Structure 1
Amino acid sequence: MNPSPRYATIDGLRGLAVMGILLMNIAGFALPSGAYFNPLAGGGTGPADLAAWAASFVLVDGKMRALFSILFGASTLIVVERAETAGRSGPRTHGLRMATLALFGAAHLLFVWSGDILLHYALVGLIALPFVALESRQQLRIAMMLLLIQLVIGAAFLGSFVALRHAAQLPDADAATISAWRDFAAGVGIGSPADVAKEVARLRGPWSGIVADNLSHALDGPLFLLAFDGPETLAFMLIGMAALRSGFLTGEWLRRRYLKAAAIGFALGLPPTVALCWWCFASGFDTLTTFAAATEGGIAFRPILGLAEASLALAWLSGRESGLKARLRAAGRMAFSNYLGTSLAMTFLFYGWGLGLFDRLGRLALYPVVAVVWLLMLLWSPAWLARYRYGPLEWAWRSLARGKAQPMRRTDIEIVSQ
């Protein structure tokens, strides 16, 4: 029995997305936690390092997450519809996939990297199921409503953080309030030298200490992410479902239509995003200003830029075949293995259980590391798929979700027909 037919453009786009996710997450692997949002928190403040941060802020941060979420929503629709076509229950199939994904995500979160997104996707993916049957227009309307809800939620959170900073700066502020503000600032901005030193020592230390800290935040981290980002993530998934049905993701549009969509998206999304970046510089990278620009400020523009970048990529992917496109498709077919494999490689490189390079490289110096990992993805993915039907973790996910081991090795006929 052969695997289900695949959409070549979606595989290629997923390959680009999983590579872009590493570009977005590299600061989270290698630098103190506040440096993910704020360049003054780690990674160097030279012109080249600040330029690298700015380029990532405008073109990568949030946009790759939006694209990955859009593709996840499209995959949800594909899985449900193909299950029902095969005579299986679509909701049951999807539910088992999300339950299994949640197990992988929890293991990733606790034992590998605290920046896991898989558990969040599994939870939001379960919420997304009732929306699969809706028409595309309804899905888009609900997505717009969810983005508005996200704006309100984000404003409420930011308001509470402003109040917390004000209370912590009062002359009679109690120790608990000061500590709460310090913890928040260390996580999204510039922490105290003592807090940064503590984080560096923990992540350069033994694996047991890292796991113990992850366990101490096992519930509050995923729950906060669900509350803070859940509506936006669900909105992106619904956009992905509508984009699949429109033919946008499957390469059915004409090349000039993709290029037109990209031009419109960049025209709408780039100027305000650049303005937000300038606001961060103008504020001296004030903790709350920079965090607000990266989160609340980008809600309206992340999907626009994410889709603009996807449009540009699809204009290329839907054109003449090339070896690079074939390798990208292979990386996309193994996005799950590549995502988790990247986490293992990066934590080995930067954490104490491996080479211990955490907070030893400047921000600009991290990008050659990204380039090497990209090259490895493009090399190993097609080599693996030449012999096997699925990536190793794709096979494990599918086998666990279906309750039995799936056929893994390609037959001679499948190899010859490739």
Structure 2
Amino acid sequence: MIKALNSYQRIQSLDFLRGIAILGILLINIESFSYPNPWSPSAFGFEGEIDRTTRFFVYWLGQGKFFFMLTVLFGVGFCLFLDRAQEKQGQDAYALYLKRLFWLFVIGVVHAYLIWDGDILYHYAICGVILLLFQSFSKKGMVAVIGVLVAVLMFNNYQRTSDRAESLADYYEIKNTVAEDRSAAQQRRVDYWEGRLKKKSPDSDDIEVPRQTYMQSIQTNYEKVEVHKGVVYHKSILYSTLIMMLVGVLLFRSGIFQDYKVVPHYWLMTLAVTAAALAINYFRYDHWTYHYEQPVTQIWQGWLFAFPRETLGLAYVLLFNGLYQKFGGGRVSQLISNVGRMALTNYIMQSIICGLIFYGYGLGFYNQLSRFELLPIVLAIVLLQILFSWIWLKRNAMGPIEFVWRKMIYGGR
């Protein structure tokens, strides 16, 4: 039977938040197992209007939000671990923290190569090392760093939107010329934009079920994951990940996870952030689902769509934290908290289950289910993980992978 390795009392709201995030992230991750191109609003998994509506609600309320909830909570865990390690280990706390991240990186790489190429753990580990650089920063210093990173991403969005608008204007200008007078580069631009501006029909082509054997799955992962080539983080989300981890540090230092009442007008702030985030995400994913053929060429729109996932992820943290402290402690919240206590185990468990459902070495349901038909699968996995976590934690102090992770960090201690 696994024993606890420390005597510190857990912050119950954090377990609850992790549970919400881990169960919620399955809504999006399952699509990567189900379809060859899950991000396309016109390809695969659409059998009718109910599927487009399902996709809209899943993306409006779920896409990226639970990932960034976990990212905020990683920043919280960063502070919590260092504070407790310094109290017990003194100067060894930083070495212990780096050891913790090293083994998280290893677990993530193993997960990526042997189970699912979409792993995020090794990316978190690298960002956790970078986060250490800001450990001694004051709150104002961290806010300044966040401001710089936000400004960089806003500038990048401005640049992309401007380039897109310029390219579209060139297309309309070239379109007015005689086809025989166009250069090869101009014709490529015309071909690109004519395809881009065209409303597409759902793709119902038969797709061969991939990864017919487990060895084929490993080979596919090897081709997609590039850690062995030195690509040890996901560069497209590096800055946004660091921003949300730093936000997590600031939230932890504010004390809201112990008692949200330390922040004046907490509920007013939370409801305002949630309402604004829901509105931004509504416009973002309405455009992505129903008007995807219309390119974003307005600077204001590009900026509005810069941080939809991050803002709603933050709103979820604030909202569920307050709800747990105000109404939590019952049977349902405890069951979700159990999932959060085993967040690492449940995250990898989701990948194993989805692989067995959709890949060729399992049941082979790849590209066989519509977006709406995925929902019962998600619900079944959620209930399974709630049940598994409850049964496991009745006899053990932590999840099996959490135990292995701690064993690698602390050895025999």
Q: Does the residue aligned with 2:8 lie in a helix, a strand or coil?
A: coil
The structural deviation recorded for 1:266 is: 2.5
Once the two structures are superposed, what CA deviation does each residue of 1:158-196 show, in whole Å capped at 9, x if it has no partner?
7889999999x99736xxx99xx9xxx9xxx999979x8
Match of 1:39 among 35, 38, 41: 41
The structural deviation recorded for 1:9 is: 0.4
Corresponding position of 1:4 = 8
Percent of aligned pairs with the same amino acid: 25
**1:353–1:226 Cα change, 3 Å:** same
Q: Aligned partners of 2:320 and 2:314: how far apart in 1?
A: 10
Is 1:219 the counterpart of 2:244 in the alignment?
no
Corresponding position of 1:98 = 101
Corresponding position of 1:411 = none
Once the two structures are superposed, what CA deviation does each residue of 1:218-249 show, in whole Å capped at 9, x if it has no partner?
32798496321101100100000110111223
Residues 373-388 of structure 1: pairs in structure 2 closer than 5 A: 373-388=381-396
Corresponding position of 1:57 = 59
Corresponding position of 1:137 = 140
**1:222–1:238 Cα change, 3 Å:** farther
Corresponding position of 1:87 = 89
Q: Aligned partners of 1:45 and 1:259: how far apart in 2?
A: 41
Once the two structures are superposed, what CA deviation does each residue of 1:64-92 show, in whole Å capped at 9, x if it has no partner?
11111000011011111111110242221
Corresponding position of 1:311 = 318
- Aligned pair count reads 387
Maintained 8 Å contact 2:211/2:220 = no
Is 1:398 the counterpart of 2:402 in the alignment?
no
Query: Is there any run of 5+ residues in structure 2 with no aligned partner, and where?
Result: 176-181
Q: Does the residue aligned with 1:340 lie in a helix, a strand or coil?
A: helix
Q: Aligned partners of 1:237 and 1:296: how far apart in 2?
A: 21
What do you get for the CA RMSD once the two structures are aligned? Answer: 3.6
AA in 2 matched with 1:236: M
Corresponding position of 1:323 = 331
Is 1:120 the counterpart of 2:132 in the alignment?
no
Q: Aligned partners of 1:317 and 1:148: how far apart in 2?
A: 34
The structural deviation recorded for 1:331 is: 0.8
Corresponding position of 1:67 = 69
**1:223–1:254 Cα change, 3 Å:** same
AA in 1 matched with 2:29: N
Task: After superposing the two structures, state which structure 1 stretch, 72-81 or 382-391, moved more.
Answer: 382-391
Q: TM-score, normalised by structure 1?
A: 0.81
**1:334–1:274 Cα change, 3 Å:** same
AA in 2 matched with 1:4: Y
Maintained 8 Å contact 1:14/1:335 = yes
Is 1:172 the counterpart of 2:184 in the alignment?
yes
Q: Does the residue aligned with 1:393 lie in a helix, a strand or coil?
A: helix
Once the two structures are superposed, what CA deviation does each residue of 1:336-383 show, in whole Å capped at 9, x if it has no partner?
000001110111111111111111000011111111111112212122
Maintained 8 Å contact 2:43/2:203 = no
The structural deviation recorded for 1:306 is: 1.6
Query: Is there any run of 5+ residues in structure 1 with no aligned partner, and where?
Result: 407-418
Residues 124-273 of structure 1: pairs in structure 2 closer than 5 A: 124-153=127-156, 172=184, 200-201=207-208, 203-219=210-226, 223=231, 226-253=234-261, 257-273=265-281
Match of 1:30 among 30, 34, 51: 34
Match of 2:309 among 292, 296, 302: 302
Q: Does the residue aligned with 1:241 lie in a helix, a strand or coil?
A: helix
Q: Aligned partners of 1:282 and 1:23: how far apart in 2?
A: 20
Q: Aligned partners of 1:294 and 1:394: how far apart in 2?
A: 42
AA in 2 matched with 1:122: A
Task: After superposing the two structures, state which structure 1 stretch, 118-127 or 243-252, moved more.
Answer: 243-252
Q: Does the residue aligned with 1:232 lie in a helix, a strand or coil?
A: helix
AA in 2 matched with 1:44: F
Q: Aligned partners of 1:115 and 1:288: how far apart in 2?
A: 27
Q: Does the residue aligned with 1:203 lie in a helix, a strand or coil?
A: coil
**1:369–1:256 Cα change, 3 Å:** farther
